Amino acid sequence: MKTTVLFPLRPQISISAYNKIVTERVQLSPRREVQRTFWRRKSPSALLLMELIDILKGVELFRGLSVEQLQRLVDISHKEVYHADQVVFDQGAAGEKMYVITQGEVEVRVKGGTGSKQTMVYLGRGQLFGEMALLDQSERSATVVAAQDNTVLYAVASNDFLHLCTSDTGAGYIMMRNLAMDLSFKLRRQNLDTTSGL
Amino acid sequence: MIFKVSYVVVGGEFPGGIRNEPERPQVGDTVQIGRLKFQVVEIHEIIPPRDDFQFLHATIKPLEEAPNGEAAPDS
């Protein structure tokens, strides 16, 4: 059975983790000691949460959300890791989730008139996809495939996202505005492609 | 500051990409999109900046051949 050291109002940690803290406090300079001890005393889940909130702050969709609102978003999102060439979803499938890329790259392919799939764009870190089906409840308009190993996505189910938007209308307004901005950016990009003859 | 960059390949068939960059890309920089490497030849703002985000459009040209041996677009 694992023995734990109890800290009042702090996360519980194992004896070995506590010993590591003490050892490091001896070895490090006073300034580093404080920083290292602070981080060690955070529970793993708290660290993960802080890391994830930092990642989400860098995603345009979540620009303007408070830490509390981001935390609610973290509660309804889950991490998915893909290897290169693994399909995230197929064109024509039901759209139940939207995705945020936090690491790696995905390839967006659309089936042409001949039935062959043409790559439309590569999306990298910080980008959002699958949001169209979330908004209009229709089927997937493209096939999305991971373009790199260890492509990390955070998926949010449509129902959970829409529920969050209606239960916290402030967060809902911000995210819907940011969604519109993202679609505007993609439309302007497409217009530039067209005008440049691509 | 986060730079949301749309990369478009000059006159080619390669689709380009969109991603967030921690630093503003410069003309002459090399970027990898998919399996290919490209050089940035032009950059301009696509939408005015908001908060910590800048929205840029970068024109790029291929630096290398495609892995199947065919010449990359516009190379």
* pLDDT digits 0-9 by tens, A48-62: 777 778 888 888 888
What confidence score (pLDDT) does residue B66 get?
53
What confidence score (pLDDT) does residue B61 get?
92
The answer to whether the beta carbons of residues A12 and A5 sit under 8 Å apart is yes
Q: Name every chain A residue with its beta carbon within 8 A of the beta carbon of B6.
A: 185, 189, 192
Question: How close does chain A come to B30, measured CA to CA in Å?
Answer: 16
Encoded amino acid at B62, one letter? P
Residue that the structure tokens 């516009």 belong to: B74
Which among A78, A98, A76, A77 has a CA at the least distance from the CA of A167?
A76
Give the nearest chain B residue to A101 (CA atoms). B19
Q: Name every chain B residue with its beta carbon within 8 A of the beta carbon of A64.
A: 51
Query: For the segment B28-62, what is each residue's pLDDT rounded down to a tens digit?
Result: 999 999 989 999 999 999 889 988 899 999 999 99
- Helix, strand and coil content of chain B, in percent to the nearest 5, comes to 0, 55, 45
ipTM of the complex: 0.83
Q: Does B51 touch chain A (CB under 8 A)?
A: yes
What confidence score (pLDDT) does residue A18 get?
41
Tell me: pLDDT of B2 over 70: yes
What confidence score (pLDDT) does residue A20 get?
44
Query: What gap in Å lies between CA B22 and CA A171, rounded to an integer?
Result: 25
Give the nearest chain B residue to A126 (CA atoms). B20
Those residues of chain A that have pLDDT short of 70 are 1-45, 47, 193-198
Residue that the structure tokens 């630093």 belong to: B23
What confidence score (pLDDT) does residue B51 get?
86
Asked if the Cβ–Cβ distance from A122 to B16 is below 8 Å, we say yes
Angle between helix A169-195 and helix A158-167 axes, rounded to 10 deg: 120
What confidence score (pLDDT) does residue B71 get?
42
Q: How far apart are the first and last CA of chain A?
A: 64
In terms of pTM, does the model score above 0.80? no
Question: How close does chain A come to B28, measured CA to CA in Å?
Answer: 20
Asked if the Cβ–Cβ distance from B11 to A193 is below 8 Å, we say no
What confidence score (pLDDT) does residue B8 get?
92
- Listed in sequence order, the DSSP H helices in chain A are 15-27, 30-41, 44-57, 67-75, 131-136, 158-167, 169-195
Question: How close does chain B come to A196, measured CA to CA in Å?
Answer: 7
Residue that the structure tokens 């799939």 belong to: A117
What confidence score (pLDDT) does residue A25 get?
43
Which among A92, A96, A98, A110 has a CA at the least distance from the CA of A73?
A98
Q: Does A66 touch chain B (CB under 8 A)?
A: no
Other C-beta atoms lying within 10 Å of the C-beta of residue A57: 14
